[in-house]
Amino acid sequence: MRVFSVNEALSKAGVRSGLRVLLALILSVLIAAANVHANADEWFLLPEPKFMEHAVAFPIEGAKVTVLAPAKIGESGIEFSTVTEWTASALNEDAVRKVTKAFATEWLRHVRRELVRNRKNVVEYAVLHSEKVPVAATVFAPAFWKQFADIFGPKMIVVIPNRQTVFVFPGVAVDYAEYAPVILEAWRGPSAKVSLEMFELSVRGLKAVGRLEEP
């Protein structure tokens, strides 16, 4: 008959304790991953300034200072994805773009739109604003392009100075410097900054084509 020493008993107890800790850790990771998968449809792409250095971000064609960052609306407002969350969710940019279109379509319904006209009653530009939804993301709604294509044509220029405001201009024959003061006013306002880059918006999406310079 074998007699176990005290050291052996303690060693085996330590192994059992370690296994329990390891199993608990694995279980917590699996639960967390399951929760991320369950909430995968909460993520959307939001135009953001590159200087924010978000952990996960995607480029915009031609853009130098603006990126697309995966975000969701949490208890305290906009929350951005960590590398761990993004990896655990097994998401990709294309999948989130589809969800973004759905969010953007709904948010666009709640955004105030103002058409600014000249003395001849011709629309010079449009301003979209809301304090309740991230207006910056509404540019990805198919209805966004459609409603302004009727006014400005199939190609238009959008500027997103802050998260709550979007300017829309015709794509041709416009001296955008003329409108710099009103754009800079929005950029310097209290809302979270996005960009002074100018984006051509077409059915293909966003493409940076220039940038307003801050004096």
- Write the pLDDT tens digit of every residue in 179-203: 999 999 999 999 999 999 999 998 8
What is the three-class DSSP state of 177?
helix
In the chain, beta strands by DSSP E: 44-49, 58-59, 66-74, 77-80, 112-117, 123-129, 156-162, 165-170, 197-202, 205-211
pLDDT by 10s per residue, the chain, length 215:
444 444 444 355 554 555 554 444 444 444 344 444 436 689 999 999 999 999 999 999 999 999 999 999 998 899 999 999 888 877 888 889 999 999 999 999 999 999 999 999 999 999 999 999 999 999 999 999 999 998 998 889 999 999 999 999 998 877 888 999 999 999 999 999 999 999 999 888 899 999 998 87
Q: The pTM is what?
A: 0.80
Chain segment 135-172, per-residue pLDDT in tens? 999 999 999 999 999 899 888 999 999 999 999 999 88
Task: Say if residues 161 and 129 touch (Cβ distance below 8 Å).
Answer: no
